Amino acid sequence: MPSAPAPRPTVAVANWVHPEVHAYLQPHTRVIANETREPWTSAELRAHCQAADALIGFMTETVDDAFLAACPRLKIVACALKGFDNYDVAACTRRGIWITIVTDLLTAPTAELTVGHLIALARHMPAGDRLVRSGGFEGWRPTLYGTGLDGSTIGLIGAGAVGKAVARRLAGFRSQLLYWDRNPLTPDQEDALRLTYVSLEELAARSDFVCVCIPLNPDSYRKVDGHFLAQMKPGALLVNTARGSVVDEDAVADALESGHLGGYAADVFEMEDWALPDRPREVNARLLAMPERTFFTPHIGSAVDRIRRDIAMQAAQDVVEVLQGRRPPHAINEPVQAPAGA
């Protein structure tokens, strides 16, 4: 009698993904999928992954050594994201587990949203929307005068993929673009992007707008702190679409309350940085209490429908590559001892 076919490997998909991603995975794997728009709890995630060969994870998941110890069959953790600070790469590497990320697909939509935050904050667009909806709008009045990007000085903290993409999108505003990065660009890159390298202190002192465009890591944690904010021009505006904990939210609230900081816009918050044990559990209440000087969106930097589909699809493709015995194209580690069959 012919032997029974080997069971298909199991992949856990921790958040909702498009039907096309399920359709791609199903011929190759047994899929345990979160069909809701809310993330699994830590206990649910661990339970689903204990017998799984692969995990497709998102920003809401944290993968550390203790989690991996409880999920011994995992061969790959495919991150459907770019900023992987919630994932312990060293632990995956020690345990022979591939880890992959999505590097390019999030850049353009995040840069677009950054420019949107700049304009919305500078031109008082949320306040204008509230005024029109209030029933008290009777036509033009000399109110809600703001700041334009045209002719302004904009400082970019970080000139990686997102920082460069923001610079390209700001080229049409006739702004002076300053930047700081641990690894300065080449002169040719600076010329092409119309960027001028300055120290972090000079960037703070000269910029009408400051945009945070760096990933979260030990060096960047609260890079924008009370000291940095005190060096900013009075009335300058701050935009953060990177990671919440790159900015000290309490220091921002202090600077807004004192009037030194003109406004703050953010798509990301300290409470989202799950891997930090002392993170706050909710958005800073002092910031929420200042709607006239703040503008917030709920982490929608990459929330373009086709982009989110492509992000999850790339993670799924990396999973299939590993489960079929090949190196995943988007790996960011080299497992110490590759898992069996990989």
Which residues are catalytic, by number? 243, 272, 299
**DSSP per-residue codes, 17-73:** --HHHHHHHTTTSEEEE--SSSPPPHHHHHHHHTT-SEEEE-TT--B-HHHHHH-TT
Half-sphere exposure at residue 115, Cβ-oriented, CA atoms within 13 angstroms: 20
Half-sphere exposure at residue 148, Cβ-oriented, CA atoms within 13 angstroms: 6
Angstrom distance (rounded) from CA 137 to CA 127: 12
Angstrom distance (rounded) from CA 118 to CA 95: 43
Please name the residue that has the structure tokens 């069909």: 35
Instruction: Determine which helix (DSSP H) or strand (DSSP E) holds 9, and give its type and residue range.
Output: none
According to DSSP, residue 7 is labeled P
Dig out the tokens for 198 from the structure. 């300055």
List CB contacts of 59: < 8 A, sequence separation 6 or more: 81, 83, 86, 272, 274, 299
Helices (H) and strands (E) in the chain, counts: 13, 12
- The SS3 assignment for 165 reads helix
